[in-house]
Structure 1
Amino acid sequence: MTRTIFQKITSSLWVLISFIPFFNGLGFVYIGNKYANAQWFAEGILYELPLILGLLTLPNLTVSTPMFIFGTLASMVSIVRSFMVDYTLQKDLDQSNIVETSLDEKIDGIINSLWVLISFIPLFNGLGLVYKGKTAPNKTWYLEGILYEIPWIIGILGIGFSQVRFVAFEAAVLFYFVSIIRSIMVATEPEPLYR
């Protein structure tokens, strides 16, 4: 079966994520998770790590500055690597027997996955998983979403305690990135055959 131009373009849209600062590795995490390629998944985490460490060590400029420099370099490398990986992926998809879903099925899938966009909004990044956990049979996603919201709540309520707020917001920033990755992973999980 030959793939259409539309199918080739839609299977390459993940490359655009590489051009978004601070999220450049998430495209690799997505594509590695979707096609069960641990190398691409680990590569995406590796591209995100310097920026996350730079944000976590922000009060210490001697540590955070090199992390942001490494993060900028990782961003540039991820842009080049995304085109290389996409070329390999397109070649593999052309040679494989993977049947692409129809446009109607893709639109339904996109509408059902809009909750993932909430994970990109700071302060509300856990609410998407809370929603998914309430509507799906897997209730651990509900608890996971609450866990991602707790540091934000502690940071906001800890007005008079600067150390508590600092630690809470540091954890919230870390959980922010983790919740984005987890939301993408949950959204791309295949539907169970039975319930």
Structure 2
Amino acid sequence: MNAFDKIKKSWWVILSFIMFLNGFGFIYIGVKYSNRNWIMEGVMYELPWFIYLIYFSIFGGPQPGISHPSSLIILFALILLFVSVIRSVWVAVKLYDIYDNEEKYTIQATSLNSTKDVKNTKDSNSGIACCLCILIIFIIFVIIAL
């Protein structure tokens, strides 16, 4: 696969650089490749922005001279924005390897009489645990801010 096709398939990385949209790239790529961990990761990147918009619509903007909890929400959202940029570039580079070696990663048809041992792979729940940890840390930040 040539470089232009790789770039064309990686357009979703651009969304990671845009505030309020940084999680939608992961949601898109997760839906495209049926990877629920990427979908959940994208939702986690979007969650602080969503909570900030709800908080801002209910309580309004920061008042001069008053400490406002929304600043902690924005700080957490910006940290997650930075993480999503790094993570999306990392995933895109890993996908480049898959694009280059498609014959290695494609499923080949096998006969029913095959004598090869097929190893059972366990579905890793570490991605869910990671997203839950980020969510719990975010909720702790919100509680401390209030």
With the shorter chain as reference, the TM-score category is: 0.5 to 0.7
State how many pairs are aligned: 97
Alignment partner, residue 48 of structure 1: 46
Counterpart in the other structure of 1:71 = 77
Taking only aligned residues, the RMSD between alpha carbons, in angstroms, comes to 2.0
Map of 1:82 onto structure 2: 88
Tell me which of 15, 18, 21 is aligned to 1:17. Answer: 15
Aligned-residue offset at 1:89: 1.4
TM-score (norm 2): 0.60
1:53 counterpart letter in structure 2: I
Matching of residues 91-110 of structure 1 within 5 Å = 91-97=97-103
Higher relative contact order (CA 8 A, sep 6+): 2
C-alpha separation in 1, matches of 2:73 and 2:83:
15
CA contact (8 A) 1:29 1:45 kept: yes
Contact residue 28 and residue 43 of structure 1 kept, 8 A: yes
Match of 1:28 among 23, 26, 29: 26
Query: 1:65 Cα shift?
Result: 2.1
| 1:81 alignment partner AA | R
Whole-angstrom CA distance in 2 between matches of 1:40 and 1:90: 17
Residues 144-164 of structure 1: CA distance to partner in whole angstroms, max 9, x if unpaired?
xxxxxxxxxxxxxxxxxxxxx
Q: Bigger radius of gyration, 1 or 2?
A: 2
> Unaligned 5+ residue runs, structure 2?
63-67, 107-146
User: CA contact under 8 A between 1:24 and 1:78: conserved in structure 2?
Assistant: yes
Residue type of the alignment partner of 2:51: L
TM-score for both structures, normalised by structure 1:
0.46
Q: 1:94 offset after TM fit, Å? A: 2.1
Q: Unpaired segments of 5 or more residues in structure 1?
A: 100-195
Judging by fraction of residues, say which structure has more helix.
Answer: 1
